[in-house]
Structure 1
Amino acid sequence: MHPVPPESGLPSADTAVRLERVVKTYRDQPVLREVSLAIQRGEFLTLLGPSGCGKTTLLNLIAGFAEADRGEVFIDGQPVTSEPPHRRQIGLVFQNYALFPHMTVERNIGYGLRMQRVPKDEEARRVQEAMALVKLDGLGHRKPRELSGGQQQRVALARALVIQPKVLLLDEPFSALDKNLRGAMQVEIREIQRRLGLTTVFVTHDQGEALAMSDRIAVMSGGVIRQIAPPTELYQHPQDPFVASFLGDVNILPAHYHAKSAGDVQLRLGSGLISLPPARLLHSAHEGARLDVYVRPEHLRLENLHAASVLSGTVVNHVFQGDHVDTFVDVDLPMTARQILTVRHPGPGAMQQWPVGSVAGLALSHESVSVFSPER
């Protein structure tokens, strides 16, 4: 079992949602393994991980659609573990929006207010306010089938917001949208969330969405939180190989621990040695120990081959990606028969400077790497 990061479960006066050592099992298969998590008031927290990691189950425990086998759920400091969903004051936007096809936009948005028996004049006022907030003015009498995908998502969001929830839950809400609309809705939802100061929990398997939208990201795998931190910290300082590999692209280079010199750690990589700050080595190691060096493609660069080059290889392909170019280099490493590394350039210049078939040295930014013991 992987340890739960201690900071993920620490409550404070500003904690809006807290889970304490929650456990959930389906058909004898553990889905959540004693997960603790504290979400601050007004925070946009993302649960990120691959399918089956437990992120949707965790969201359902907060919403009340699933009940923990063990552990407690708190909202605004009050235990809600046994409370049904309608008593938790939760706003939820589903993956498929779950709009009522026979109702108009106004009726869909006002549904939660009618369930709360809000007076009709107040319902009408709050529905109009919610429609204005999500830019649906003038569409109140349309049915869902008469709306675009983005407009349907706005209806679902307005329906969640109109009840003035304590917590907004978003379950992969962009999966049905095309790329351009998805980006626009990310910006819009984040702007609304900030304006309202609304505590929000967002579930996604898309690393780009998580990095773009979150105050903090909880990376999940195998029913546990592997690391929880702001996006920049997660990307630059992953705590284990899974987080390093799952969040963004990464090259993994085999190395050996060589020695400690002048406070730095020396690793044997390729034909030479590299020196790293001790903080980059997240596991203790002895002389000769096998290690893996994780380095992002943008932290590698091609250079003219010279005697001091630690790594060298042959350029085998360039892939133009619009805002950057990925160059693939066939590198000869002592501990692997053959390895293709990805080098990321901010512009297309490398395609001319390093044509396919050219031989180059590779330099890496030592401050940007992470080093782990190989996963077994």
Structure 2
Amino acid sequence: MNSVEPVASAYDTAPSSIAVSLEGVVKKYRDQTVLHELSLKIRRGEFLTLLGPSGCGKTTLLNLIAGFANADNGEIFIDGQLVTNEPAHQRQIGIVFQSYALFPHMTVARNIGYGLRVRGMANSEIDQRVKEVMAMVRLDGLADRKPRELSGGQQQRVALARALVIRPKVLLLDEPFSALDKSLRGSMQVEIREIQRRLGVTTIFVTHDQGEALAMSDRIAVMSAGVIRQIATPDELYRNPQDPFVASFLGDVNILPGHYHGENALGVHVRLGAGLIQVPRERLVGGSHEGGRLDMYVRPEQIRMEGLHAASVLSGTVVNHVFQGDHVNSYIDVDIPVAGRQLVMVRSAGLDAMRLWPVGAVAGLALPEDGISLFTRTP
């Protein structure tokens, strides 16, 4: 996890290193279980992302933490205090919704100060806090505007300021970038992450966008079908996935059919077509047996095109190049003995691949020994 020392602030009050803890949480809607005995610990000051496809349960989990929904079983703690049955307004949670949920008839300043007025704070203190948080999110000079007079990015800043002004124990972000264009989305990611680091506020971020998760998180919890498949740092998840779903959901990946061919002190031997590849033992998740099917998950940037020679494990015909600015995705039609034909994606920096391996050329493919994840094929 990135080590960032937050400045001393109103957020640095809890003695425990765990800000949010969920233990065996179950949530059902009618006869459908949405969360299956889910347990999770989130560290104080951490930026944790819940990542997964639509319907995986990540927003439901966020709503349980916020107090907008009730768990059917299990317990939820915030700063060591049991809050499972506490109403939302007693949890000291700040939340930024996907739609921002601003009051259209209120000015920027009154939108931001709404939570403080509800809490009965004195007007002088409200004015001071609103002024401070507006400067923090770069909204100076916009206090008297209405939401309809703001850009999408400015509306998002108002929503963020409203969540931060109450000095929450936990900040929840529910897909806050979905309404922004790509360039603004990138700048807001940087801005929100910098504010979060500076304040040291524990933050839980919900998204289905892998790029956002990789760019912003201290840790990522990858969810599918109401369970957490793996939780780790972005680098660890990308380079060493422990679950086939995680490997395929987080970034592009080639899945190649291999077979277990024994192992020694140096690693696992995997037969791929007519070739034999040695892979470090720790890259094999689970066990196998002689001849057992293993799926080889290989990132496209880890494969290298080379001249065809006897040592080439795989070879094939280049059928397409897709130019992506700083890199090229090349698609190779490979005939793997026993398994059949398969398109393999190779990602190369620059434009050399298009020049050296034009469409129709035959290329060998070099696979890295330590860049492969192996999973036992289940029936």
Structure 1 stretch displaced more, 335-344 or 316-325? 335-344
| Letter in structure 2 aligned against 1:219 | V
TM-score normalised according to structure 2 size: 0.95
Alignment equivalent of 2:362, drawn from 359, 364, 374: 359
What is the rounded CA distance, in whole Å, between the counterparts of 2:27 and 2:262 in structure 1? Answer: 45
What's the CA shift for 1:259? 1.5
> Structure 1 counterpart of 2:355, which letter?
Q
- Paired with 1:13 and 1:338, the residues of 2 have a C-alpha distance of 55
Q: 2:241 aligns with which of 238, 241, 266?
A: 238
Aligned residue for 1:3?
none
> In the alignment, which residue of structure 1 is the partner of 2:205?
202
Which residue of 141, 154, 158 maps to 1:155? 158
Say whether the 8 Å CA contact 2:16–2:79 is kept in structure 1: no
**4+ aligned runs moved over 6 Å, structure 1:** none
Equivalent residue for 2:169?
Answer: 166
Aligned residue in 2 for 1:102: 105
Q: Which amino acid aligns with 2:50?
A: L
Pairwise CA RMSD: 0.9
The one of 332, 356, 369 equivalent to 1:329 is: 332
1:302 equivalent in alignment to 2:305: yes
**What SS does the corresponding residue of 2:246 show, helix, strand or coil?**
helix
Q: Which amino acid aligns with 1:250?
A: V
**Distance (whole Å) between structure 2 residues aligned to residue 151 and residue 322 of structure 1:** 30
Matched, 1:127 2:130: yes
Is 1:43–1:198's contact at 8 Å kept on the other side of the alignment? yes
- Residue of structure 2 equivalent to 1:311: 314
SS at match of 1:126: helix
Partner of residue 76 from structure 1, selected from 57, 73, 79: 79
Q: Which runs of 5+ in 1 are unaligned?
A: 1-11
> Could you tell me how far apart the structure 2 residues matched to 1:361 and 1:318 are?
16
Please name the residue that 2:290 is paired with. Answer: 287
- Which residue is equivalent to 2:115? 112
Deviation string, structure 1 residues 224-269 (Cα, Å, up to 9, x no partner): 0000000000000100100000000000000111111343211101
CA deviation string 1:289-336 (max 9, x = no partner): 011000000000100000111100000000010111100000001233
Q: Residue by residue, what CA displacement relative to the aligned partner does 1:87-121 show, whole Å, maximum 9, x if unpaired?
A: 00000000000000000000100000000011001
Whether contact under 8 Å (1:241, 1:375) holds in the other structure is: no
Whole-Å separation in 2 of the counterparts to 1:204 and 1:14: 25
Does residue 85 (structure 1) correspond to residue 88 (structure 2)? The answer is: yes
152, 177, 180: which one pairs with 2:180? 177
- Number of matched residues? 365
Q: Which residue of 338, 343, 349 corresponds with 1:340?
A: 343
* Greater mean alpha carbon deviation, residues 263-272 or residues 143-152: 263-272
2:63 alignment counterpart: 60
Contact 1:91 1:160 (8 Å CA) reproduced:
yes
Paired residues of 2:321 and 2:328 also in contact (CA < 8 A): yes
Alignment match, 1:15: 18
Structure 2 segments unaligned to the other structure (5+ residues)? 1-14
Task: Indicate the SS of the match to 1:110.
Answer: helix
- For 1:46, the equivalent position in structure 2 comes to 49
SS in structure 2 of the partner of residue 127 of structure 1: helix
Residue 201 of structure 1 and its aligned partner are, at CA, apart by: 0.1
Match of 1:34 in 2: 37
> What is the rounded CA distance, in whole Å, between the counterparts of 2:58 and 2:112 in structure 1?
27
Q: TM-score, normalised by structure 1?
A: 0.96
* Cα displacement string for residues 175-217 of structure 1 (whole angstroms, at most 9, x for unaligned residues): 0000000000000000000000000000000000000000000
Using the TM superposition, give the Cα deviation of residue 27 of structure 1 relative to its aligned residue in structure 2, in angstroms. Answer: 1.6
- Supply the distance in 1 between the matched residues of 2:370 and 2:258 (Cα, whole angstroms): 16
Structure 1 residue 264 corresponds to structure 2 residue 267: yes
Percent same amino acid among aligned pairs? 73
1:375 Cα offset (Å): 4.1
Q: Distance in 2 between matches of 1:27 and 1:337?
A: 45
